[in-house]
Amino acid sequence: MLNLIRILSKNLATILVVFLIASPTYAINSNNINIGDKAPYFELDGYSKNNPDKDLWKLSDFKGVWTVLYFYPKDFTSGCTIEARSFEKLSPEFEKLNAMIVGISNDIQESHESFCSKESLSFTLLTDLQGIVSEKYSSWNKPYSKRNTFLIDPEGVIRYSWMNVNPLKHPTDVLKKLTELQV
Protein backbone atom coordinates (compact mmCIF):
# COMPACT_ATOMS: atom_id res chain seq x y z
CA MET A 1 0.00 0.00 0.00
CA LEU A 2 2.84 2.38 0.89
CA ASN A 3 4.50 1.71 -2.49
CA LEU A 4 1.21 2.53 -4.26
CA ILE A 5 1.00 5.86 -2.42
CA ARG A 6 4.61 6.70 -3.40
CA ILE A 7 3.93 5.87 -7.05
CA LEU A 8 0.75 7.94 -7.09
CA SER A 9 2.36 10.94 -5.38
CA LYS A 10 5.29 10.89 -7.87
CA ASN A 11 2.88 10.86 -10.78
CA LEU A 12 0.31 13.25 -9.30
CA ALA A 13 1.71 16.29 -11.11
CA THR A 14 1.61 14.47 -14.46
CA ILE A 15 -1.93 13.25 -13.81
CA LEU A 16 -3.03 16.77 -12.87
CA VAL A 17 -1.53 18.30 -16.02
CA VAL A 18 -3.17 15.68 -18.25
CA PHE A 19 -6.51 16.24 -16.51
CA LEU A 20 -6.34 20.03 -16.93
CA ILE A 21 -5.39 19.81 -20.59
CA ALA A 22 -8.20 17.36 -21.33
CA SER A 23 -10.80 19.24 -19.30
CA PRO A 24 -13.36 21.12 -21.46
CA THR A 25 -13.76 23.78 -18.78
CA TYR A 26 -10.03 24.48 -18.81
CA ALA A 27 -9.98 24.81 -22.59
CA ILE A 28 -12.98 27.14 -22.58
CA ASN A 29 -11.57 29.34 -19.84
CA SER A 30 -8.30 29.76 -21.73
CA ASN A 31 -10.03 32.04 -24.28
CA ASN A 32 -9.21 35.53 -23.13
CA ILE A 33 -11.00 38.61 -24.35
CA ASN A 34 -8.89 41.73 -24.05
CA ILE A 35 -9.77 45.39 -23.98
CA GLY A 36 -9.20 46.75 -27.47
CA ASP A 37 -10.20 43.47 -29.18
CA LYS A 38 -12.94 43.41 -31.76
CA ALA A 39 -16.02 41.91 -30.09
CA PRO A 40 -16.60 38.32 -31.25
CA TYR A 41 -19.46 38.12 -33.74
CA PHE A 42 -22.71 36.38 -32.85
CA GLU A 43 -26.15 35.57 -34.20
CA LEU A 44 -28.64 34.40 -31.56
CA ASP A 45 -32.36 34.01 -31.09
CA GLY A 46 -33.77 36.24 -28.44
CA TYR A 47 -36.56 38.35 -27.08
CA SER A 48 -37.05 42.07 -26.61
CA LYS A 49 -40.20 43.67 -25.25
CA ASN A 50 -39.43 46.72 -27.42
CA ASN A 51 -39.04 44.59 -30.55
CA PRO A 52 -41.12 41.40 -30.02
CA ASP A 53 -41.30 40.48 -33.72
CA LYS A 54 -37.53 40.21 -34.09
CA ASP A 55 -36.22 36.71 -33.40
CA LEU A 56 -32.63 36.71 -34.70
CA TRP A 57 -30.17 39.18 -33.21
CA LYS A 58 -26.66 39.87 -34.48
CA LEU A 59 -23.79 41.84 -33.00
CA SER A 60 -24.09 44.14 -36.03
CA ASP A 61 -27.63 45.09 -34.87
CA PHE A 62 -25.93 47.13 -32.14
CA LYS A 63 -23.45 48.96 -34.36
CA GLY A 64 -23.48 52.67 -33.73
CA VAL A 65 -24.42 52.38 -30.05
CA TRP A 66 -22.60 51.30 -26.94
CA THR A 67 -23.53 47.75 -25.98
CA VAL A 68 -23.57 46.40 -22.45
CA LEU A 69 -23.29 42.68 -23.19
CA TYR A 70 -23.86 40.82 -19.96
CA PHE A 71 -23.78 37.07 -19.50
CA TYR A 72 -25.74 35.49 -16.68
CA PRO A 73 -26.54 31.94 -15.53
CA LYS A 74 -30.33 31.57 -15.47
CA ASP A 75 -33.63 33.44 -15.73
CA PHE A 76 -35.64 33.72 -12.50
CA THR A 77 -32.76 32.89 -10.13
CA SER A 78 -32.14 35.33 -7.29
CA GLY A 79 -28.81 36.82 -8.42
CA CYS A 80 -29.86 37.05 -12.05
CA THR A 81 -33.17 38.67 -11.11
CA ILE A 82 -31.40 41.24 -8.90
CA GLU A 83 -28.95 42.07 -11.69
CA ALA A 84 -31.68 42.32 -14.36
CA ARG A 85 -33.85 44.56 -12.16
CA SER A 86 -30.89 46.85 -11.50
CA PHE A 87 -30.07 47.10 -15.20
CA GLU A 88 -33.74 47.88 -15.90
CA LYS A 89 -33.86 50.54 -13.21
CA LEU A 90 -30.79 52.23 -14.73
CA SER A 91 -31.84 51.70 -18.37
CA PRO A 92 -32.96 55.36 -18.85
CA GLU A 93 -29.45 56.46 -17.81
CA PHE A 94 -27.87 53.98 -20.24
CA GLU A 95 -30.16 55.22 -23.03
CA LYS A 96 -29.03 58.82 -22.39
CA LEU A 97 -25.47 57.59 -23.00
CA ASN A 98 -26.45 55.88 -26.30
CA ALA A 99 -26.13 52.39 -24.78
CA MET A 100 -28.17 49.22 -25.21
CA ILE A 101 -28.32 46.49 -22.57
CA VAL A 102 -28.22 42.93 -23.87
CA GLY A 103 -28.27 39.82 -21.67
CA ILE A 104 -27.17 36.34 -22.74
CA SER A 105 -27.87 33.01 -21.05
CA ASN A 106 -28.66 29.51 -22.24
CA ASP A 107 -32.35 29.82 -21.35
CA ILE A 108 -34.82 29.25 -24.17
CA GLN A 109 -36.54 32.19 -25.85
CA GLU A 110 -39.88 31.48 -24.12
CA SER A 111 -38.16 31.68 -20.72
CA HIS A 112 -36.67 35.06 -21.69
CA GLU A 113 -40.09 36.31 -22.75
CA SER A 114 -41.62 35.18 -19.47
CA PHE A 115 -38.73 36.67 -17.45
CA CYS A 116 -39.03 40.01 -19.26
CA SER A 117 -42.78 40.04 -18.69
CA LYS A 118 -42.63 39.11 -14.99
CA GLU A 119 -39.80 41.54 -14.19
CA SER A 120 -40.89 44.31 -16.63
CA LEU A 121 -37.57 44.19 -18.46
CA SER A 122 -37.36 46.34 -21.57
CA PHE A 123 -33.94 45.23 -22.83
CA THR A 124 -32.99 42.31 -25.07
CA LEU A 125 -32.27 38.81 -23.76
CA LEU A 126 -30.55 36.35 -26.09
CA THR A 127 -30.52 32.54 -26.11
CA ASP A 128 -27.17 30.74 -26.23
CA LEU A 129 -28.38 27.15 -25.77
CA GLN A 130 -25.04 25.41 -26.31
CA GLY A 131 -22.85 28.17 -24.84
CA ILE A 132 -21.07 28.80 -28.15
CA VAL A 133 -21.20 32.60 -27.88
CA SER A 134 -20.59 32.49 -24.13
CA GLU A 135 -17.47 30.45 -24.86
CA LYS A 136 -16.25 33.05 -27.39
CA TYR A 137 -16.52 35.64 -24.62
CA SER A 138 -14.76 33.49 -21.98
CA SER A 139 -18.11 33.23 -20.21
CA TRP A 140 -19.09 29.57 -20.35
CA ASN A 141 -19.02 27.21 -17.41
CA LYS A 142 -21.09 24.31 -18.69
CA PRO A 143 -24.03 24.07 -18.29
CA TYR A 144 -24.42 27.83 -17.64
CA SER A 145 -23.00 31.18 -18.67
CA LYS A 146 -20.75 32.87 -16.13
CA ARG A 147 -21.71 36.25 -14.74
CA ASN A 148 -19.42 38.42 -16.93
CA THR A 149 -20.01 41.70 -18.75
CA PHE A 150 -18.40 43.38 -21.74
CA LEU A 151 -18.75 47.02 -22.69
CA ILE A 152 -18.58 47.32 -26.47
CA ASP A 153 -18.19 50.70 -28.17
CA PRO A 154 -20.22 51.83 -31.22
CA GLU A 155 -17.52 50.47 -33.57
CA GLY A 156 -17.67 46.98 -32.04
CA VAL A 157 -14.50 47.17 -29.92
CA ILE A 158 -14.41 45.88 -26.35
CA ARG A 159 -13.65 48.85 -24.14
CA TYR A 160 -14.02 47.23 -20.71
CA SER A 161 -14.85 43.88 -19.12
CA TRP A 162 -15.96 42.60 -15.74
CA MET A 163 -15.49 38.95 -14.77
CA ASN A 164 -17.44 37.08 -12.06
CA VAL A 165 -19.41 40.15 -11.08
CA ASN A 166 -21.43 40.88 -7.95
CA PRO A 167 -25.02 41.28 -9.19
CA LEU A 168 -25.94 43.68 -6.38
CA LYS A 169 -23.77 46.59 -7.49
CA HIS A 170 -22.62 45.62 -10.95
CA PRO A 171 -25.06 47.65 -13.12
CA THR A 172 -24.02 50.80 -11.26
CA ASP A 173 -20.34 49.98 -11.91
CA VAL A 174 -21.07 49.54 -15.63
CA LEU A 175 -22.92 52.87 -15.82
CA LYS A 176 -20.04 54.61 -14.04
CA LYS A 177 -17.44 53.15 -16.45
CA LEU A 178 -19.58 54.01 -19.49
CA THR A 179 -19.84 57.60 -18.26
CA GLU A 180 -16.05 57.77 -17.74
CA LEU A 181 -15.34 56.45 -21.24
CA GLN A 182 -17.57 59.06 -22.84
CA VAL A 183 -15.95 62.07 -21.15
Predicted confidence at residue 23, as pLDDT, reads 33
- Let me know whether 143 and 80 are in one domain: yes
% of the chain with per-residue pLDDT over 70 = 83
Is 116 designated active site?
no
183: confidence class by pLDDT, cuts 50, 70, 90: confident
CA distance 84 to 75: 9
- Let me know whether 22 and 74 are in one domain: no
Answer with the residue of higher pLDDT: 74 or 2.
74
- Let me know whether 107 and 155 are in one domain: yes
The pLDDT tens digits of the residues spanning 6-30 come to 544 554 444 333 333 333 333 333 3
Query: Reading across the β-sheet that carries 56-58, which strands appear in turn?
Result: 56-58, 43-47, 124-127, 99-105, 66-71, 149-152, 158-162
- Burial of residue 33 (CB within 10 Å: 0-12, 13-18, 19+) is middle
- Let me know whether 7 and 43 are in one domain: no
- Let me know whether 94 and 26 are in one domain: no
Contact yes or no for 140/58 (Cβ under 8 A): no
Q: Which of 28, 59, 80, 116 is catalytic?
A: 80
Predicted confidence at residue 31, as pLDDT, reads 58
- Let me know whether 16 and 38 are in one domain: no
- Let me know whether 72 and 162 are in one domain: yes
Range of the domain at 117: 33-181
What pTM, to 2 d.p., does this model score? Answer: 0.82
Domain count, the chain: 2
149-152 and 99-105 as β-strands: parallel, antiparallel, unpaired? unpaired
Predicted confidence at residue 2, as pLDDT, reads 53
CA distance 84 to 123: 9
As a dihedral over the C-alpha atoms of residue 45, residue 179, residue 83, residue 109, rounded to 10 degrees, the angle is -10
